[in-house]
Amino acid sequence: MDGQAGAAGQADEPPAQRLIAGVIRGLMRATMGPALRVGRPIEQRRRREARLTRLLRIPPGVEFRSAVCGTIPCESVAVRGAAPAGRAVLYLHGGGYCQGSPATHRIITGHLALRSAARVVAADYRLAPERPFPAAVEDAVAAYRGLLAEGFAPSATVFAGDSAGAGLAVAAALSLRRDGLPQPAALVLFSPWVDLTLGALGPPPPGEFMITRPWLEECARFYLAGHPAEDPLASPIGADLHDLPPTLIQVGTDELLLTDSRRLHAALKAAGVEAMLQEFPRRWHVFQLNAGLLADANRALATAGEFVRSRASVVSAGGQ
């Protein structure tokens, strides 16, 4: 990987994939729309999202176990029957800092475990509005400390996340740098939300069907709870990004947060960080959740797994 920005995905999509993509769009619009509806009580939205989790196409051959990473409840994801992994991926789920859980993102964490030859640990970090900023950042750092205490070296550990979780991964890396703690080996970011000010957010592209500006505004308000959105641990796009780990960013062109991905990639490059941006034409917010059905999702996660393997050195781990 050369770290240059560029497009990914097929210019001429096969008819079967066009059909699959259209069906997925329709189903997600009908199912996820109510779960992300502005003004609906947050607990009601979380319950609906949890019910939808039962419909996920979980990859076979992967085990999901409850665990504790440091002091943080987590879900440990590993390939069934495989030897203990020598590298780890700390996964931070999306959901606007207000929704989501390790269970809602098992498609991604399961495929990452298969593709990266790593133990994937999905942190069940505290959510707003009950636990606003900086609780999520503190939990991400605590989970990372837990992995180090288990025997995973920083050079064998990668931060990954989607949407708000991807922004949280960058914020956690910044927090580590501020405190003089070792950085992980790399960052893998799917559709990162890195600017809670929403100041540079443009109009939604014609293909956007999942997230809206009002939903982002509501989530930012819940998470910040009056704290300035300009804080670099809340909006990492405004931070000095020097000395952050090599970073892979993946984003669809049919999503509202495309600008965040492009701005983050440019800012990382300007700070001297090795960074690669992959844009997938006609794909939606965190399309990787459709792995197993969508060819672009499979390709994206295969690339992410390769990136993890190439950046995280294998060392002896403390166990599964």
Any catalytic annotation for residue 255?
A: yes
Instruction: Find the catalytic residue in 101, 163, 175, 261.
Output: 163
Give this prediction's pTM. 0.93
Task: Report the Cα 114 to chain-centroid distance in Å.
Answer: 17
Q: 41-50, 158-167, 236-245, 303-312: which range is least confident on average? A: 41-50
Does residue 315 have a pLDDT over 70?
no
Look at 49 and 74; give whichever has higher pLDDT.
74
Instruction: List the domain boundaries for the chain.
Output: 6-311
Any catalytic annotation for residue 105?
A: no
Q: Is 179 helix (H, G, I), strand (E, B) or coil?
A: coil
Any catalytic annotation for residue 285?
A: yes
CB 281 within 8 A of CB 253: yes
What would the DSSP string read from start to end of 2-20? ----EE-S-SS--HHHHHH
Q: In Å, what is the CA distance from 15 to each residue of 12, 110, 225?
A: 9, 28, 47
The model's pLDDT over 147-188, given as tens digits with 9 standing for 90+, comes to 999 999 999 999 999 999 999 999 999 999 999 999 999 999
Q: Which fold has domain 6-311?
A: Rossmann fold (3.40.50)
Q: How confident is the model at residue 320 (pLDDT cuts 50, 70, 90)?
A: very low
Instruction: Find the catalytic residue in 75, 208, 255, 279.
Output: 255
Q: How high is the pLDDT of residue 84?
A: 79
